[in-house]
C-alpha cells in the first residue's frame, strides 16, 4: 500500500490552492482528480469575478474568506503574472423602489470589512458608463476579473515546485478510517485509474475532500464517517449568454440581488467581451447544455440597465453548476468546512457547498484548512485568521 502525508481530492481552484499550501508546509502531497484535466467543473464555469465581499452575511465564512481571499488573490496574481484586471463594478438600482436596497447593501458590506463602496447618483453613474440606465448605483472599486484557468495553472505549478504531485483520471471509489496503520496513515482510499481500470489503495494522514459537486458523494463513501455530518446537496445551474463584439461598458454591471443569486449581471472577460448571467435553474443532473430559449428571459432583465440591447443579439455561451446546500426559497447557505472538531475523524477535512465566492476565497480557504491540519507550520497571518473562527 502506498502512503503519502496528504491527499487532496479535486483539482479545482480550491483543491489546488489547498495542495499548494500543504506542500509549502512540508507535507508530501498528492492531488487526485477524476477528470482528465484540472478545473473542468465549477472552477472554470463561472463569471471569473474577483468579488469584493459585499453581499454575504456578517461573520459568515463566505464574508470572511472573500474579503481576506480577495486581497491575497490580487497579490498572488501580481506576483505570479496571472492575467487579471481590477476593473470595478457598479451595482445599480433600476427604479426608485430599489434605491433603499443599495443602502442596505452598503451597510452590510461595511460590516463585513468592505469600506470602499461609493454611492453614486444616476448622473454620476452615467459619467462613468454613458450607456447605462439606473436611478442610483454603488461603485465597488475592489471588484475585478481574472483568468481562472491561468490561476489554476499557477497554483498547480506552485504546488509542484514544493513537491506536490497531480494524478488525473483517478477516481476515489471509497475510503475507510484506519488509525492503526504502521505507516501512520489514518485514512485509506480505494481508487481507480479510469484509463487503465487499475485499482489501488493509498493511505494518508491528511485527507482533504475538495471535490466540489462530488464532495458529498465522496464523503458518504468514507466508512467510519458518521453520515449525519454529510449535508444534502442541490445543483443550481447558471446559464450564460454573450453578445458579439466589445461591450459598451468598462466595468461590471450588477442589478440588486435576487433570490438564489446576484441577478442577470454583465461581466467582462479580459478581452472586453460581455457575458450575461447566470440565471438560476435548479436541476438534478450535470447537464451543461444551454437552452437558447432561456435567453428570451434575459432581455427584459438586461434592458433594465442597458436599454440599447438589440433584439436577437444574445447567443448561448456556457453554463456552470453550483454545489448548493440550500434549495429554492431557502436562505443561501454558508460554506461548510468540517474537521475533526466537528466529525471526530483526525486528519479529515470535508468542504461542502463551495460555490461563489469560492474562486475569490480560494487562497484564504486553503490557508485556513492547512493551518487547522498543520498548525505548527502556520504562518502568522493564517493563525490569526483561523483564531477568529
pLDDT digits (tens, 9 = 90+) for 175-189: 999 876 655 568 999
User: Strand 187-193 and strand 144-146: pairing?
Assistant: unpaired
Identify whether 67 is part of a domain: no
Same domain, 41 and 165: yes
End-to-end, the C-alpha distance of the chain in Å comes to: 36
Instruction: Give the Cα separation of 72 and 157 in Å (integer).
Output: 18
Q: Quote the CA–CA distance of 337 and 342 in Å, as a whole number.
A: 9
The boundaries of the domain holding residue 381 are 2-46+149-231+333-387
Residue 74 lies inside a defined structural domain of this protein: no
Q: Does residue 121 sit in the same domain as residue 239?
A: yes
Q: Report the sign of the C-alpha dihedral through residues 278, 279, 280, 283, in that order.
A: negative
Band of the pLDDT at 375, cuts 50, 70, 90? confident
Asked if residue 164 belongs to a domain, the reply is yes
Mean pLDDT computed over 355-376: 95
Closest by alpha carbon to 8, among 355, 381, 347, 288?
Answer: 347
Q: What interhelical angle do 148-161 and 13-24 show, nearest 10?
A: 20
C-alpha distances in Å from residue 169, one per residue of 39, 158, 189, 293, 330 = 13, 21, 15, 35, 36
What is the spatial distance between Cα 13 and Cα 377, in angstroms, rounded to a whole number?
22
Same domain, 208 and 354: yes
| C-alpha–C-alpha distance, residues 83 and 147, integer Å | 6
Is 389 a residue whose pLDDT tops 50? no
Instruction: Evaluate whether 135 touches 122 at the Cβ level (below 8 Å).
Output: yes
Task: State the chain's mean pLDDT as an integer.
Answer: 93
- The pLDDT value recorded for residue 257 is 79
Cα separation, 305 vs 302, in Å, equals 6
Please indicate, yes or no, if residue 219 is contained in any of the structural domains. yes
Q: Mind listing the pLDDT tens digit for each residue in 260-301? A: 556 789 999 999 999 999 999 999 999 999 999 999 999 999
| 82, three cell numbers | 496571472
Is 61 a domain residue?
no
Q: 53: which DSSP letter?
A: S
For 14, phi and psi rounded to 5 degrees?
A: -75, -45
The whole-model pTM stands at 0.94
Which tens digit of pLDDT belongs to each residue from 189-230? Answer: 999 999 999 999 999 999 999 999 999 999 999 999 999 999
pLDDT at 383 over 70: no
Both 186 and 248 in a single domain? no
Residue 378, pLDDT > 80, answer no
238 and 355 in a common domain: no
Q: What mean pLDDT do residues 117-136 have?
A: 97
Helix, coil or strand: residue 350: strand
pLDDT at 179: 72
Banded pLDDT at 259 (limits 50, 70, 90): low
Confidence of residue 244 (pLDDT cuts 50, 70, 90): confident
Q: Judge whether 52 lies within some domain.
A: no
Q: Please give the backbone phi and psi of residue 136, each rounded to the nearest 5 degrees, phi first.
A: -170, 170
Residue 299: its pLDDT value, please?
95
Q: Say yes or no: 227 and 243 in one domain.
A: no
- The predicted pLDDT at position 388 comes to 43
- Assign 265 to helix, strand or coil: strand
Same domain? 261 vs 153: no
341 and 381 housed in the same domain: yes
Grid cell, residue 33, equals 482528480
C-alpha grid cell for residue 50? 474577483
Domain-embedded: residue 29: yes
Q: What is the CATH number of the domain that holds 242?
A: 3.30.9.10
For residue 171, the cross-strand partners are: 192
- Verify that 253 and 293 share a domain, yes or no: yes
Q: Angle, to 10 degrees, between the axis of helix 13-24 and the axis of helix 358-373?
A: 30
Residue 140: closest CA among 54, 201, 79: 54
Q: What is the mean pLDDT of residues 10-21?
A: 98
- Shared domain for 375 and 266, answered yes or no, is no
Beta-carbon neighbour count of residue 315 at 10 Å?
12
Query: Coil, strand or helix: which one is 51?
Result: coil
Count up the domains in the chain and report the number.
Answer: 2
And the C-alpha cell for 262?
A: 446576484
Q: Is 25 part of a structural domain of the chain?
A: yes
Q: Among 324, 353, 377, where does a domain finish? A: 324
Residues 171, 191 contacting (CB under 8 angstroms): yes
Which conformational region is residue 267 in: left (phi greater than 0), alpha (psi within -120 to 50 degrees), or beta? beta
Q: In this structure, are 131 and 265 located in the same domain?
A: yes
Question: For the domain that residue 359 is a member of, what is the CATH number?
Answer: 3.50.50.60
Q: Parallel, antiparallel, or unpaired for β 234-246 and 222-223?
A: unpaired
Q: What distance in Å separates the CA atoms of residue 44 and residue 40, rounded to the nearest whole number?
A: 6
SS3 326: coil
Quickly list H helices, the chain: 13-24, 61-80, 99-111, 122-128, 148-161, 215-220, 296-303, 340-343, 358-373, 380-387
Task: Assess whether 378 and 366 both reside in one domain.
Answer: yes
Q: Does residue 53 have a pLDDT over 80?
A: yes
Residue that is last in its domain, among 324, 347, 377: 324
Domain's final residue, options 277, 305, 324: 324
Amino acid at each position: 500500500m502506498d502512503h503519502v502525508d496528504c491527499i487532496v481530492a479535486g483539482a479545482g481552484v480550491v483543491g489546488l490552492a489547498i495542495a499548494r499550501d500543504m506542500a509549502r508546509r512540508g507535507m508530501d502531497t498528492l492531488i487526485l482528480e477524476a477528470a482528465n484535466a484540472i478545473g473542468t467543473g465549477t472552477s472554470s464555469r463561472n463569471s471569473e469575478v474577483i468579488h469584493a465581499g459585499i453581499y454575504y452575511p456578517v461573520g459568515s465564512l463566505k464574508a470572511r474568506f472573500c474579503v481576506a481571499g480577495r486581497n491575497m488573490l490580487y497579490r498572488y496574481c501580481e506576483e505570479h503574472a496571472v492575467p487579471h484586471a481590477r476593473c470595478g463594478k457598479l451595482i445599480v438600482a433600476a427604479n426608485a423602489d430599489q434605491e433603499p436596497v443599495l443602502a442596505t447593501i452598503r451597510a452590510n458590506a461595511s460590516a463585513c470589512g468592505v469600506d470602499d463602496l461609493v454611492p453614486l447618483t444616476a448622473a454620476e453613474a452615467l459619467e462613468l458608463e454613458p450607456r447605462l440606465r439606473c436611478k442610483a448605483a454603488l461603485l465597488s472599486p475592489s471588484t475585478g476579473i481574472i483568468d481562472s484557468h491561468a490561476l489554476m495553472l499557477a497554483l498547480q505549478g506552485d504546488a509542484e515546485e514544493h513537491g506536490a504531485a497531480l494524478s488525473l483520471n483517478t477516481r476515489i471509489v471509497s475510503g475507510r478510517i484506519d488509525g492503526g496503520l504502521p505507516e501512520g496513515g489514518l485514512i485509506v482510499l480505494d481508487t481507480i485509474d479510469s484509463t487503465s481500470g487499475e485499482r489501488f489503495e493509498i493511505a494518508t494522514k491528511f485527507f482533504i475532500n475538495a471535490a466540489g459537486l462530488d464532495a458529498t458523494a465522496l464523503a458518504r463513501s468514507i466508512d467510519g464517517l458518521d453520515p449525519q455530518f454529510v449535508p444534502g446537496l442541490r445543483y443550481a445551474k447558471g446559464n450564460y449568454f454573450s453578445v458579439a463584439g466589445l461591450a459598451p461598458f468598462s466595468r461590471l454591471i450588477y442589478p440588486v440581488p435576487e433570490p438564489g443569486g446576484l441577478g442577470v449581471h454583465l461581466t467582462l472577460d479580459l478581452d472586453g467581451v460581455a457575458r450575461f448571467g447566470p440565471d438560476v435553474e435548479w436541476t438534478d443532473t450535470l447537464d451543461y447544455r444551454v437552452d437558447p430559449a432561456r435567453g428570451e428571459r434575459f432581455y427584459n432583465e438586461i434592458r433594465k440597465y442597458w436599454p440599447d440591447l438589440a433584439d436577437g443579439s444574445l447567443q448561448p455561451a456556457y453554463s456552470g453548476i453550483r454545489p448548493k446546500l440550500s434549495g429554492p426559497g431557502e436562505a443561501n447557505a454558508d460554506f461548510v468546512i468540517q474537521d475533526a472538531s466537528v466529525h471526530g475523524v483526525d486528519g479529515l477535512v470535508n468542504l461542502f457547498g463551495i460555490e461563489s465566492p469560492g474562486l475569490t476565497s480560494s487562497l484564504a480557504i486553503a490557508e485556513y484548512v492547512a493551518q487547522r491540519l498543520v498548525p505548527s507550520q502556520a504562518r502568522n497571518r493564517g493563525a490569526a485568521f483561523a483564531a477568529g473562527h
